[in-house]
Structure 1
């Protein structure tokens, strides 16, 4: 088992329905922000953090993502037959990722400031933690609508709440994920278990973050990156 996480799951299989017409002919990870596909920004984080392995799941317009990733060292977890959501998708990819805790990263956000994956790695303590989620304060969650996801206790543990928003980056120990009976499920189920065990923690990202889930988020992301009008 890896003493520290060195493999990462890129979630790239979703349909991106909130993007409307922009995802009628391409998958959301290939939508461009500041002239670059969203997945390119995610891959920058992976490379800059020096991680040893990355796996991307594919489903919607999978041929386009395969073509984009061809020649890279990113391995493919094929969900063409059935979109498995985050939990099912991670479980299917585990043979490619290898044993032990893994990073997971959504591909529909952009970041500024410290590399969030490096921040997670520095804060990870496998003796105490089953999950370590990167969070931003609700007031700093650009592009995000609605309430927050978690509250953060003084000792770093998280509980369901509204103060902080989950950014889509985490380290997770997937032990026990094989016991979930449903083929399609969210990692929310694993977080609930970890919270109940007192082993779910959060770390605050000290930079900018923009959720690029809707067309109107693209100019917000470009402005945050310094490419706005």
Structure 2
């Protein structure tokens, strides 16, 4: 096993309840932004990596996503009967992803600027890092409220606090997932363990980022795309 990431996990299983009626008959990753499904914007970023494999987890309306993604050679980790959250979902997908560190990418955001995945790849140092998160300074976020998720520390280490919003892209080592007895759990638990060991790092994204978690985020994201 090397310590370089060669696989990508797309988080696509959620119900998208904050989208209201827009997700009554389709999963959130298939909502259109600027004429393209949200998940296609994510796959655009993935294409630059040329990864060995791309896996999407599926739960809500999975047939629609499977039909959309099969032509792109995406593999599927189907979460049934229950949705597993980010930590449980990533662990369930490991037979497809392999044992190396992996990229993970949320599918409900639009990035304007350099590809966050290639920035992560170029900065990854497994001798110091167990996870490298792409975070966005709050002033560069669109459609996102609150003070942020993390505070920058020395040499790129981060801790819980204000200032930086997690943008939904990272490289993460997966061995620590086996420490949690729960079937359903968040990656936040893994990050907290890494932070205690001074192994949780972040990059500060140099561009802008839009959260498309609510209906109003669609117009904001389209404005960001147009303003390039």
TMscore range, shorter length? over 0.9
Query: What does residue 156 of structure 2 align with?
Result: 156
Give the number of aligned pairs.
228
Query: What does residue 75 of structure 1 align with?
Result: 75
Distance 2:108 2:68 in 1: 16
Please state how far the C-alpha of 1:96 moved relative to its aligned partner.
Answer: 0.1
Contact 1:62 1:80 in 2 (8 A): no
Please state how far the C-alpha of 1:147 moved relative to its aligned partner.
Answer: 2.3
Distance 2:70 2:50 in 1: 20
- 1:143 matches 2:140: no
Query: What does residue 103 of structure 1 align with?
Result: 103
Instruction: Structure 2 unaligned segments of length 5 or more: list them.
Output: none
Structure 1 consecutive aligned stretches of length 4 or more whose deviation exceeds 4 Å: none
Contact 2:140 2:207 in 1 (8 A): no
Please state how far the C-alpha of 1:227 moved relative to its aligned partner.
Answer: 6.9
Query: What does residue 174 of structure 2 align with?
Result: 174
SS at match of 2:68: helix
Distance 1:186 1:87 in 2: 4
SS at match of 1:49: coil
SS at match of 2:201: strand
Alignment of 1:86-101 (within 5 A): 86-101=86-101
TM-score (ref. length: structure 2): 0.97
SS at match of 1:70: helix
Q: Which moved more, 1:211-220 or 1:138-147?
A: 138-147
Instruction: Structure 1 unaligned segments of length 5 or more: list them.
Output: none
Please state how far the C-alpha of 1:49 moved relative to its aligned partner.
Answer: 2.1
What do the CA deviations read for 1:80-106 (whole angstroms, capped 9, x no partner)? Answer: 311000000000000100012100000
Distance 2:126 2:57 in 1: 25
Please state how far the C-alpha of 1:37 moved relative to its aligned partner.
Answer: 0.3
Query: What does residue 30 of structure 2 align with?
Result: 30
What do the CA deviations read for 1:152-182 (whole angstroms, capped 9, x no partner)? Answer: 1131000001100000000000112112111
Q: Which moved more, 1:17-26 or 1:2-11?
A: 2-11
Please state how far the C-alpha of 1:204 moved relative to its aligned partner.
Answer: 1.1
Query: What does residue 209 of structure 1 align with?
Result: 209
Query: What does residue 134 of structure 1 align with?
Result: 134
Distance 1:91 1:191 in 2: 14
Cα distance, 1:48–1:218 mapped onto 2, change above 3 Å: same
CA RMSD of aligned residues (A): 1.2
Distance 2:42 2:184 in 1: 24
- 1:45 matches 2:45: yes
TM-score (ref. length: structure 1): 0.97
What do the CA deviations read for 1:168-200 (whole angstroms, capped 9, x no partner)? Answer: 000000112112111000000000000000000
Please state how far the C-alpha of 1:143 moved relative to its aligned partner.
Answer: 0.9
Please state how far the C-alpha of 1:205 moved relative to its aligned partner.
Answer: 1.3
Contact 1:34 1:227 in 2 (8 A): no
